[in-house]
Structure formats: structure tokens, C-alpha cells
Amino acid sequence: MDLQPGTFAFEAWTARYALWRGLWATITTSSFSIVFATLAGLIFGVALTYGWWPLRLLVRLYVDFMRGMPVLVLILFTYYGLALFQVNVAPYWAGVFALAGFATAHVAENLRGAVQSVPAGQMEAAKAIGLSFPKRLWYVIVPQAIRRMLPPWVNTCLEIVKGTTLLSVIGVVELLLATQQVIARNYMVIDFYLLACGIYLVVNFCIAQIGAALERRFSYIRY
């Protein structure tokens, strides 16, 4: 490897810690957002399907509002807008909350569609053998619904990773902003943008493979 000053290899090696910190920020913000959105989305999805009608209405308003809101606007509002109400949130967590809030709406809608696609006879059969509603939901409906919602869930995870690039507008030094800062020092625009592109592709490829493994894990379900 040529590590002579002025070469791409030398500049990449020099900037390795800055790029790693940016990548780590991207990974952690994505991970927190995906975990929060998945847990909240499952609850909201069940509420959309089986909740009391006022609760369904509130959740539906939230889901439709969030799905129609541009992610950038949501990020800016979470960071700057909440400050107007004397709620100060660190840029990192503002980004996590914004991305998680956006993804929650998509996960909830995906779960609602998946649950409603399960044949009604499954619920009736579970009821006939004496299972309570929570048990019918947990042991019969949800496992079948999860298999159906996994592909769109993976797509949501990929969108979250790509959405982290917008966090630079509130000062979060994620991978893209870290790359831009490195470029500002060495002016190797194409080289470092290609490097960032390759890193994003690797991260998203890993997420896609995890999703494929989960799909295989749930593929044993038959009805």
C-alpha cells in the first residue's frame, strides 16, 4: 500500500479515526432508531387493528401525519422546534427521536397490514380452543404477521440508515459529515465520496442479510 503523503491511501489512513467516529455515530443512531421504532410500531400496529376506536383514531392520526412528514422537517422540528417549548434535546438524541418517530409510523402500518392479511379463521380457531385474546395474539396471529412484515421492515431499516445522512443539519457528525470534513482538508472529493458510498453499501448489505436470515427463521410457519 502506497502511504506517500498526498495519496488517497495516506489521506484515508490519516482520517481513519474521524471516519470511524462518523461510522459509529451512523450505526448507533440507526440501531437506537430501529429498536425504538420496532417496539413502538408493534404496539401501535396492534392498537390500529384491535384497539378501542378512540385509540385507533389517535394512532391513525399519528401514523398518517408521520408518514406524510418529510424526514428533514421532522429532524429540524425535533431539535429546533422543541427548544421553543423549553425542551432542550442534544442533537444526537434529537436525531434518534426524529428517525424513530418517523419509522414507528411505517412499522405500525406494516404490522396492521400483516395482521389483517392473516386469515380470520386463525383467530377463530385459537378462540375455539380456549386461548385468551393476548395468547391468541401472541401465539397465533403475531408469528404469522411477522413473516409478512419482515420485507417492508427491512426496507424501513435501510431507509433509517440512509436517513442518518440528514442529521448533519443539526450538527451530528455521522459518516457523511465526517467524510465532508475530511474532504475539506484534502480536496479528494471523488475518492472519499466513493469510500463513503462503499461503507453505506456494506452496512445496508449486512442489514439485508439479517433480514433474509429472519425470513428463513420464520419460514417454518404454515397454516
Has residue 98 been placed in a domain?
yes
pLDDT at position 220: 60
Residue 140's CB: how many other CB atoms inside 10 A? 19
Classify residue 117: in a domain, yes or no: yes
* Alpha-carbon separation of residue 84 from 3, 98, 219 (angstroms): 50, 16, 49
- Say how far apart CA 134 and CA 144 lie, in whole Å: 15
| Count of domains observed in the chain | 1
Alpha-carbon Rg for the chain, nearest whole angstrom, is: 21
Residue 53 forms part of a structural domain = yes
- Contact yes or no for 53/115 (Cβ under 8 A): no
- Residue 20 is assigned to a structural domain of this protein: yes
Assess if residue 2 is contained within a domain: no
Question: Could you tell me the residue range of the domain that residue 146 belongs to?
Answer: 8-218
pLDDT of 3 > 80? The answer is: no
Predicted TM-score (pTM) above 0.85: yes
- The answer as to whether 223 is a domain residue is no
Average pLDDT along the chain: 89
For residue 1, being part of any structural domain is answered with no
- Asked if residue 23 is part of any domain, the answer here is yes
Q: What is the domain-level CATH number for residue 109?
A: 1.10.3720.10
111-115, 141-145, 198-202: range with lowest mean pLDDT:
141-145
- At 155, the pLDDT band (50, 70, 90 cuts) reads very high
61 grid coordinates: 392520526
pLDDT digits over 24-59, tens only?
999 999 999 999 999 999 999 999 988 888 999 999
Q: What is the number of other CB atoms lying within 10 angstroms of the CB of residue 128?
A: 9
End-to-end CA, the chain: 57
CA 25/CA 34 separation, integer angstroms: 14
Measured CA to CA, the distance from residue 13 to residue 29 in angstroms comes to 25
Q: Are 136 and 121 in contact (CB under 8 A)?
A: no
